[in-house]
Structure 1
Amino acid sequence: MQKLSLKWDQGPPGQTPSFEFGESQQETVRVLRIPQPVCLDTWRAGAPKQEIAEHTAAYSAVKQTENGFLCEAELDAGGSRFRIADEWLQAEDDTWQVNRKLTVLQGAGASGFRLRLDVVTALQEETDFTDLKYFAPPALYDKNDLDEDGLEDYLGARNLMYREDRLNMLAVLAYDEKRRIGMSLLRADRPAWDDVPDRPDKERLFLQKTDIGSLGVWKAPVDGNQMSLRASYPFYEGERCHALYMKERPDWGSFWPAETGEAFEVSYGIRVESAPLFIDAVWQTYTRRMKDLESTPVPLPATAEKLNEYRLEALDRYFIEKSEEEDSNKPAGYALNCHPQNGVQLSNIIQFGFTGQNILSAYNSLRFGLDNGVPNYVEKAQKVVDFFVEKAHLPETGMFYNLYSVEKKSFDFWWTGLLLPLAYAEGERLRELMGPLYEHREFVIKALREKQGSYLRCMNEDVHALLLIYRFEQSQGRENKEWLEAAKRYAEFLLRTQETDGTWYRAYDIGGKAITDPPIWFGTTVYEQKSSTATSIPLLIELYEITGDERYLEAAEKAGRFVRETIVKGIKFNGGIHDSIYAKGQLIDNESIYFPMIGLLALYKATKDPYFLQGAHDAAKLNASWTVLWDVPLPPQSTLAKFDFRSTGIGACDTPGAGYVHPFELSGVAEMVEIAVLTVDQDMLRVAELLWHGCNQTVATPEKDWGYAYTGLQEEGYLISWWAWDDPMFGDTGFGQRWKGEGNKTCFPWIPAVAVHCYWKLYDMFGTADFNAIREQISARQGVAN
């Protein structure tokens, strides 16, 4: 195994550490150095940002011990005197840990400080932001640079710092492709406590004792062009972040009070590993952090079967249908759209795909109803599917509408996600629900309002679900030919619109023509414009298996090659979510890598081509990395803290909104298990187990209701860091007060849909969703195979 060695550089100011990596002493290469091991930022309370002062020093004393080195320095800074004692220990062959203790020997009063660590690249003469690939899930995948302008897309910066409660693995990785090494800066101890900062006038700088620091990448503050992996304690988020405002994206940060006798301790790790490819470095880093952090599953609030019962009972409350006398379209669907705290329906909108998932809910309800003797569920599910096939379908093009307004008695067009109130509210009611969010997105709304069409993802999701329920009904002896015919007409639309490179665009008008305008919403590069391509693959495979028509398989394979080479291998996944409120319309998000994973797995199962299995495995590694591996400390008085919420195993949502988590990752748990079995990847199985438990923990049960109106409800998402805290668009609106430790006050049908469907997939593979039993079965199968 290659070893990371610590060396000491002697200079006039004192001693500084550097790190060499290699097989032996003779073959090591200098990879990192710390030219300023002691760095303090000091600030006088109330002073402007420009008056923050930086003070640096080398170690004045370095003493070798049996296990490492004890280093000390004293520093006069900002009118105070500080002592820093660093203990350097070799934690593993490739990992050094520094345990830092800072003591204020003499305080200045009404002032504060931050302790910083810059681990600087020493690979070559110059190392720029664009020379390395980065991984700090869920905030940073490569450089988050889909438009390839050399800047992070959502912050428009190259210097990036993130609060640790935004980071799933409490680490940041920089990968050098030339030398094929990954260099990581880790928070070695876990942050244990945090609270709401005292900032009565919305100050962006303030004094606060918090165990939350920051990690990130920054242009090194030394001579020469180098990059540094940077740590700050307590936290600083700059040059830009989304913690306070969406449009302005200002920085913010805390300073520890510089009072005599104040002291704190914090630990970091520096790790260097060899990895042939970036994806290998990603998976090595993430899975080792899972072991470092000793990630353990959250207990389920009830059995999986009981959770299904609770979820579907809650969903059934929001079933809506109209007779032919009331509405000639005879709509039927699950119109769940409420604040779960009161359970009051906000709108009678039946949505297909994305947040609606009506046909998947029908599949779940029908199957549960048949298994458990609930004919009411079966009858309602069949009505939902009939409405989708008979009324939401456009036979001329094969397409489907995405949304039906029960109040308007008509199909509508839903483009701007979070702006769903546009579909059912006007005037004062609209302003009450949306606040300044309408003005923020007004230019997009105006551009899209007149467009009539559907998102590809939405159509693909519910047509895939249509095939699932068709096949299940067929297995029960019922043949719904009209369902299959509608799916086949849609597949013909896909065959007709597939581009020569195997792709599809994100959306199409009702005439079947691609929609690409406005570019800020539908994308400016091939990665963005074609980002939904993978969503077509599962249903094409399903239809191929039903009909034997080779055209469907050929189209899926063509799409699969684009998805593997461009989206997965290029780490260019994005656009799964349809409701961005950030600087651009398409986000790097968990949902946009979930579809490549399930699509490539379906292709492997259909073709047995290892090319697709490798692609599925790589996509699964990226998908898994959206899982939080530790329990973020929450403000003690917050709702989530009161209900003992644990963030381990919950899924992150998108990169600019890092710190916002949700249970969508349940969608891919079964596929992750299947990929784990096919590739003998025990780490993948472990992450799947964490997800299954973490994402199911917040379902309301009779014993623990999470403050929700009904048993079986579950909130769409939760804040484990700060997001748009000061922004008026999320202030006094119906969806306001989304602070750290609170939920997003939203409930949609997709939540029970993906969870119950995941259960069925696990059940069909193993006869259970209990991971202890699943692991035993896998071990037995692999033992027989060996």
Structure 2
Amino acid sequence: MGKQLNLKWAKASSLQTPEFEFADTSEALRVLNIPQPVCLETWNVGASKEEISEHSIGYTSVREQDNGFLCEAELEAGGSRYRIIDEWVRAEADTWQVNRKAVVLQGKENAGFRLRLDVVTAFQKETDFTDLRYFAPPALYDKNDLDEDGLEDYLSTRNLMYREDRLNMLAVLAYDENRKFSMSLLRADQPAYDDIPDRPNKERLFLQKTDIGSLGVWKVPGEQDQMSLRAAYPFYEGERCHALYMKERPDWGSFWPAETGETFEVSYAIRVETAPAFIDAIWQSYTRRMKDLESTPVPLPATAEKLNEYRLESLDRYYIEKSEEEDPNMPAGYALNCHPQNGIQLSNIIQFGFTGQNILSAYNSLRYGLDNGIDDYVNKAQKVVDFFVNKAHLRDNGMFYNLYSIEKKSFDFWWTGLLLPLAYAEGERLVELMGPLYDHREFVIKALREKQGSYLRCMNEDVHALVLIYQFEKSQGRENKEWLAAAKNYAEFLLRTQEADGTWYRAYDTDGNAITDPPIWFGTTMYEQKSSTATSIPFLIELYEITKDERYLEAAQLAGRFVRETIVRGIKFNGGIHDSIYAKGQLIDNESIYFPMIGLLALYKATKDEYYLQGAHDAAKLNASWTVLWDVPLPPSSTLAKYGFRSTGIGACDTPGAGYVHPFELSGVAEMVEIATLTGDKDMFRVAELLWHGCNQTVATPEKDWGYRYTGLQEEGYLISWWAWDDPMFGDTGFGQRWKGEGNKTCFPWIPAVAVHCYWKLFDQFGTADFSRIKDQINMQA
């Protein structure tokens, strides 16, 4: 017999409470208990948070039945009388499910109630927040504690509750490093409906019939000194969250109306599994949830080839160049920066890397133009690259600028996407564009405006793309030696600045010196300051393959060891995104684990060393976990609901912004398929397929335009939960009204860049981007 989770009953007076033992043939360990299985919170409309009352009891009746137990309790609370019926059933050997029904036997108007479940640790005398490692993607990876002060970095607390529409797998997991087992609390039924809460005065407590609850981790109050996996229905987010305001981070929550006859049903499951390491527990839990939730791909809106055509046509609308007479620098680039709803260009800024991805777009356009006989695409792409090499390159030290302002006719420094207006506005106009965001980040803005330099990630991305387009041009009989020379000059910069431990800093000034100030922006710990190290690896490997210069491979290997041991194994990935508006500048985000994945895979392909393949596989597991596995219910009146948006397969963005999703994960789909092929990991292939479909679904087509001005446009991101709803910095502005069920009203060149590039990578491996055909080729049938 394998590991089994057994349900036992403890008796206190006439009441009974559940306990769970994790057992095999040789031993049984009491791991969890539920000291108060029936916990009701009651509230009267208009009352304060302090006036919420809690009422907890055990079951008054427990009857054994086929495959489980039927439990009941009645209680009076808040002037009303309730009956709770819990049906406990064994779902699997290691999983128990509870189907809960709450009935208001006698209620009253203008009052509400919430049902809670606390599953409490019971395997040692004391269990603190720091004793366990947690996984609730995308909101919580380990403890979100990069500064290692014992608190979650973005909410500054140890008690964490998340609305279920923020959680990719509808579950929260706690892993015990010493005993090598994980404990999970799962929402067993999928939430089916939700709508906009009625809160005319921005109330933080209100009545609402919503099927969205909350899951999280919470320190057990009183003398027990244990941690609990906590569920609440309907939802409660406390002690802090980003749903309403960025700086204040207040809690909020809903209550079900406590009127006579009101009833609701909700199901949870408790699961305990063994795993040799935290990363294994993560992947085991996530892939089982994918099966539990029966995640299925979203249909593509058109063939992959048609999507390429649409995307590049829309990108070409935003191509801009100036003659030597107009601007001696002769700039050329894809300056896409618009609200896709109207398509009007907001600023003529050419960005390299991150949100700009100009050289990758040039690669895509040139390759597509050559394949389809569109000379205009080819000529424009070559001009973009020539501008990058001839003008954006700092030949004295090898670096590249990140941004060029067409209006100013000069290179500029802006440091962050959300602060992009810094690149094209000043004075009152700047304050007008940024609104309260300017005040919120003023101290950072003032410090950053004195800096002249470039982000490592941005330089690496577009210099890597430079090598790709050089290689492709050469394969077509045209060699641009000056392109390769610029790439090699940049590689010398990387070799000079690499630290003894294999790392690079997050950013460098134009003299080639590392930038670490202000610490809130560039990091306070090694994990943060050196978080972009992995971005150098793919470029160095590509250049090594061209030149056979062993120095590039050696530098990549040194970086790869740091990335695998510290970033991946330590689960300390962060800093991929450059536009934080949260409590700190470094975010735990999807993009910061994508680069370790592709870098370690590139090292494996160059060396055939299994060490790097294992690291790439582990990074891919973390990268995959950012994928939403279920369809979040949206407000019926919302734009996304109107167009039939499905959240399955879309990628989450960052931990403090959980509930905000975007299509960036298309970047790594081809590498995930390759890793799945090399390791035989069919679950990895399934997630890659979900991503390919989910992240491509919102491209505007002639048949379904998503409300966008032009065919081929795609919005940068979407809200499937609430984020900064009441915050004036996102109020009555062009970027405002980013509510649940709406997009973020932003379009940048990175969106078509990563998607079309993903197509080329799949095509080069398999001759197709059709996953049904790829599945047959590599025998990945489930």
- Output the TM-score relative to the length of structure 2: 0.99
Whether contact under 8 Å (1:535, 1:596) holds in the other structure is yes
Report the alpha carbon displacement of residue 578 of structure 1 after superposing the two structures with TM. Answer: 0.2
Alignment partners' CA distance in 2, 1:407 and 1:715: 25
Alignment partners' CA distance in 1, 2:177 and 2:514: 37
Whether contact under 8 Å (2:537, 2:599) holds in the other structure is yes
User: Would you say 1:410 and 2:406 are equivalent positions?
Assistant: no
Alignment partners' CA distance in 2, 1:181 and 1:718: 35
Whether contact under 8 Å (1:432, 1:733) holds in the other structure is no
Q: Which amino acid aligns with 1:182?
A: S
2:763 corresponds to: 763
Whether contact under 8 Å (1:433, 1:735) holds in the other structure is no
Alignment partners' CA distance in 2, 1:435 and 1:13: 60
Where do residues 34-113 of structure 1 align in structure 2 (5 Å cutoff)? 34-113=34-113
Whether contact under 8 Å (2:161, 2:238) holds in the other structure is yes
User: Would you say 1:219 and 2:216 are equivalent positions?
Assistant: no
1:626 corresponds to: 626
Deviations 1:582-608 (A, max 9, x none): 000000000000000000000000000
Whether contact under 8 Å (1:416, 1:445) holds in the other structure is no
Alignment partners' CA distance in 1, 2:306 and 2:27: 59
Report the alpha carbon displacement of residue 416 of structure 1 after superposing the two structures with TM. Answer: 2.6
Q: Which amino acid aligns with 2:7?
A: L
Where do residues 131-210 of structure 1 align in structure 2 (5 Å cutoff)? 131-210=131-210
Whether contact under 8 Å (1:78, 1:108) holds in the other structure is no
Report the alpha carbon displacement of residue 13 of structure 1 after superposing the two structures with TM. Answer: 4.8
Q: Which amino acid aligns with 2:313?
A: E
Report the alpha carbon displacement of residue 388 of structure 1 after superposing the two structures with TM. Answer: 0.1
Report the alpha carbon displacement of residue 425 of structure 1 after superposing the two structures with TM. Answer: 1.9
User: Would you say 1:122 and 2:160 are equivalent positions?
Assistant: no
Q: Which amino acid aligns with 2:19?
A: S
Alignment partners' CA distance in 2, 1:66 and 1:768: 51
Report the alpha carbon displacement of residue 430 of structure 1 after superposing the two structures with TM. Answer: 2.5
1:323 corresponds to: 323
Report the alpha carbon displacement of residue 428 of structure 1 after superposing the two structures with TM. Answer: 4.2
Deviations 1:422-473 (A, max 9, x none): 1112344323321100110000000010111000000000000000000000
Whether contact under 8 Å (2:414, 2:448) holds in the other structure is no
1:400 corresponds to: 400
Q: Which amino acid aligns with 1:282?
A: I
1:312 corresponds to: 312
2:15 corresponds to: 14
User: Would you say 1:671 and 2:654 are equivalent positions?
Assistant: no
How many residue pairs end up in the alignment?
Answer: 781
Deviations 1:561-584 (A, max 9, x none): 000000000000000000000000
Alignment partners' CA distance in 1, 2:578 and 2:648: 26
1:459 corresponds to: 459
Report the alpha carbon displacement of residue 11 of structure 1 after superposing the two structures with TM. Answer: 1.0
Alignment partners' CA distance in 2, 1:504 and 1:392: 21
Q: Which amino acid aligns with 2:589?
A: D
Q: Which amino acid aligns with 2:386?
A: D
2:605 corresponds to: 605
Alignment partners' CA distance in 1, 2:109 and 2:7: 38
Whether contact under 8 Å (2:634, 2:641) holds in the other structure is yes
Percent identity among equivalent residues? Answer: 85
User: Would you say 1:474 and 2:474 are equivalent positions?
Assistant: yes
2:519 corresponds to: 519
User: Would you say 1:510 and 2:510 are equivalent positions?
Assistant: yes
Alignment partners' CA distance in 1, 2:257 and 2:414: 50
Report the alpha carbon displacement of residue 223 of structure 1 after superposing the two structures with TM. Answer: 2.9
- SS in structure 2 at match of 1:418: coil
2:775 corresponds to: 775
Alignment partners' CA distance in 1, 2:422 and 2:514: 23
2:640 corresponds to: 640
Q: Which amino acid aligns with 2:508?
A: Y
User: Would you say 1:289 and 2:264 are equivalent positions?
Assistant: no
Alignment partners' CA distance in 1, 2:532 and 2:314: 31
When the two chains are superposed, the root-mean-square deviation of aligned CA atoms in Å is 0.9
- SS in structure 1 at match of 2:310: helix
Where do residues 744-763 of structure 1 align in structure 2 (5 Å cutoff)? 744-763=744-763
User: Would you say 1:264 and 2:273 are equivalent positions?
Assistant: no
- SS in structure 2 at match of 1:85: strand
Alignment partners' CA distance in 2, 1:659 and 1:13: 43
Q: Which amino acid aligns with 1:500?
A: A
1:344 corresponds to: 344
Alignment partners' CA distance in 2, 1:140 and 1:627: 14
2:577 corresponds to: 577
- SS in structure 2 at match of 1:153: coil
Alignment partners' CA distance in 2, 1:349 and 1:402: 10
1:445 corresponds to: 445
- SS in structure 2 at match of 1:646: coil
Report the alpha carbon displacement of residue 779 of structure 1 after superposing the two structures with TM. Answer: 1.3
Report the alpha carbon displacement of residue 221 of structure 1 after superposing the two structures with TM. Answer: 3.2
Structure 2 residue runs without a partner (length 5+): none
2:300 corresponds to: 300
2:391 corresponds to: 391
Report the alpha carbon displacement of residue 224 of structure 1 after superposing the two structures with TM. Answer: 1.9
Q: Which amino acid aligns with 1:237?
A: E
Alignment partners' CA distance in 2, 1:423 and 1:459: 18
Deviations 1:23-76 (A, max 9, x none): 13x511100000000000100110011000100000000000012000000010
Alignment partners' CA distance in 1, 2:320 and 2:344: 14
Alignment partners' CA distance in 2, 1:20 and 1:14: 20
Deviations 1:619-673 (A, max 9, x none): 0000000000000000000000000000000000000000000000000000000
Report the alpha carbon displacement of residue 12 of structure 1 after superposing the two structures with TM. Answer: 1.2
Whether contact under 8 Å (1:700, 1:713) holds in the other structure is yes
Q: Which amino acid aligns with 1:219?
A: K
Alignment partners' CA distance in 2, 1:426 and 1:619: 42
- SS in structure 2 at match of 1:779: coil
Structure 1 residue runs without a partner (length 5+): none
Q: Which amino acid aligns with 2:216?
A: G
Q: Which amino acid aligns with 2:499?
A: E
Report the alpha carbon displacement of residue 339 of structure 1 after superposing the two structures with TM. Answer: 0.1
Alignment partners' CA distance in 1, 2:366 and 2:222: 64
Where do residues 494-573 of structure 1 align in structure 2 (5 Å cutoff)? 494-573=494-573
User: Would you say 1:251 and 2:251 are equivalent positions?
Assistant: yes
Alignment partners' CA distance in 2, 1:267 and 1:223: 29
Alignment partners' CA distance in 1, 2:294 and 2:547: 47
Deviations 1:744-781 (A, max 9, x none): 0000000000000000000000000000000000019x
Q: Which sits farther off after the overlay, 426-435 or 375-384? A: 426-435
- SS in structure 1 at match of 2:779: helix
User: Would you say 1:365 and 2:353 are equivalent positions?
Assistant: no
Alignment partners' CA distance in 1, 2:532 and 2:422: 24
